[in-house]
Amino acid sequence: METPDITAAAGGLRTLLAAGVERWKPQVEEMARNIHGYQEVSFAEVRSAEAIAALLESGGFEVERGTSELPTAFSASTGTGSLTVALCVEYDALPGIGHACGHNLIAGASVAAALALAPFVDDLGITLKAIGTPAEEHGGGKALMLERGAFDGVGLALMVHPVQDGLTYNPTGTSAQAVGRYRATFTGKAAHAAAAPHQGVNAADAAVLSQVAIGLLRQQIPGDHRIACYVAEAGQVTNIIPEKAVVEFECRAFTLPEFEALLVRVRRCFEGAALATGTTLEFQDSEPLYEPLLQDDDLASYWTDAMDVLGKDTSPAAGLSGGSTDMGNISQVIPSLHPWLSIPGADVPIHSHAFAALADTPQAYEVMFEGGTALAWTIAAATSSPTQRDRFTQAAYRRRTLTQESAS
């Protein structure tokens, strides 16, 4: 199928899409501000998901709520084209700190792009989906939705992410780390801490020793690897030797082999602590594995061109960036783009109270709408190219079924 060249018509498709974003600005900003105020955490984003779904419905999208058996997920669709494009929408907050990762802005940018593109889906020959993906911070909503079919048939997937000021808007060469999150449970033996401490087996000691071992290990790992942990439980009162201690921990690296090797070394820190204290040890996966992020070079080129038009810094990135996202799981099987939006004046780190406050400022919402405009332009340009269109169509995601796996 040859896609009509409407880029030069009616003042250019870019002009029309920018006007579409402008038209929806009041409703989208109100939605984003409300989400910022709701501060709903993973899998509890009830009001946030409904606010987004209702706005998309008002823009002509057909909305399925509770997608992939996740109550706060949704899938909004418009168009019947042979190429399916997905805009990922995030809206969960961080526990105790609110929208310190700017997910209200992520939601606003994707929704603005979707609403602007909606009138042109037939001209572009696409089926456009805005997929509500809960629990990005903790829980791996996208990983679960990918496994359960929400991305079946999708040929390209996009979203944007706000960050501190001063970073380039060029996503080429950037990535995000794989992360796995786990729970280590030490079990000892309770005893009176004064009358018979020698009869106890102190699980809290095992938790302390594991943290010390991990701290020493950090000296011997590559600079782009990360380990983090906290003690979730280690006794309740001072006069009882703690018989149970729980340590939540995570490991990160930019490749899966590096991640797996790091995990082995971290687990040995816990195993050594258990051996030293005489406790027993159990590991549990606490969340799905987030895979490394792969940026599609062609989508990155279209995005960078859009950012040039908007007058942004598109100098080459300094190198791989940190952090992790379940968008990585999508990017491993679908051509994807996850660029960064630098908020002017944001000289504080993400995942801080200060960044949460900045995510609800006029400059943040201005950047959000620039991101929405650039997303719309990127999708229009990519799907208007016959070569790219064929590539994305061929790349449409098809899950392997149990029957296919057994046959292979």
pTM, rounded to two decimals: 0.93
Q: In the prediction, which pLDDT does 6 show?
A: 40
Question: Rounded CA gap, 184 and 85, in Å?
Answer: 40
- Distance between first and last Cα of the chain: 33
pLDDT at 361 over 50: yes
Q: In the prediction, which pLDDT does 401 show?
A: 58
Q: Which amino acid is at 216?
A: L
Confidence of residue 117 (pLDDT cuts 50, 70, 90): very high
Question: Rounded CA gap, 318 and 309, in Å?
Answer: 22
Per-residue tokens: 399: 């899950």
Q: In the prediction, which pLDDT does 318 show?
A: 80
Confidence of residue 5 (pLDDT cuts 50, 70, 90): very low
Question: Rounded CA gap, 236 and 138, in Å?
Answer: 26
In the chain, which segments carry CATH 3.40.630.10?
6-175+290-395
Question: Rounded CA gap, 382 and 299, in Å?
Answer: 7
Q: Which amino acid is at 17?
A: L
Q: In the prediction, which pLDDT does 8 show?
A: 42
pLDDT at 211 over 80: yes
Q: How far is CA 211 from CA 208, 214, 225, in A?
A: 5, 5, 17
Choosing among 3.90.1150.10, 3.40.47.10, 3.30.360.10, 3.40.630.10, the CATH entry for 6-175+290-395 is: 3.40.630.10
In the chain, which segments carry CATH 3.30.70.360?
178-285
Q: In the prediction, which pLDDT does 400 show?
A: 73
Quick check: 35 and 105 in contact, CB under 8 A?
no
pLDDT at 297 over 80: yes
Say whether 232 sits in a helix, a strand or coil.
strand
Q: In the prediction, which pLDDT does 404 show?
A: 52
CA 379: distance to chain centroid? 20
Phi-psi region of 291 (alpha: psi -120 to 50; beta: other; left: phi over 0): beta
Per-residue tokens: 203: 């699980």
Per-residue tokens: 332: 């491993």
Q: In the prediction, which pLDDT does 288 show?
A: 97
Mean pLDDT for the stretch of residues 310-335: 91
Confidence of residue 158 (pLDDT cuts 50, 70, 90): very high
pLDDT at 391 over 50: yes
Nearest 5°: phi and psi at 221?
-115, 155
pLDDT at 107 over 90: yes
Compute, in degrees rounded to 10, the torsion defined by CA atoms 342, 348, 354, 360: -10
Mean pLDDT for the stretch of residues 129-157: 98
Confidence of residue 232 (pLDDT cuts 50, 70, 90): very high
Share of the chain above pLDDT 70, in %: 95
Closest Cα partner for 84 from 21, 151, 14, 141? 151
CATH number of 178-285: 3.30.70.360
Q: In the prediction, which pLDDT does 386 show?
A: 96
Mean pLDDT for the stretch of residues 173-189: 97
The residues pairing with 187 across neighbouring beta strands, listed in sequence order, are 244, 280
Per-residue tokens: 18: 């920018």
Question: Rounded CA gap, 384 and 302, in Å?
Answer: 11
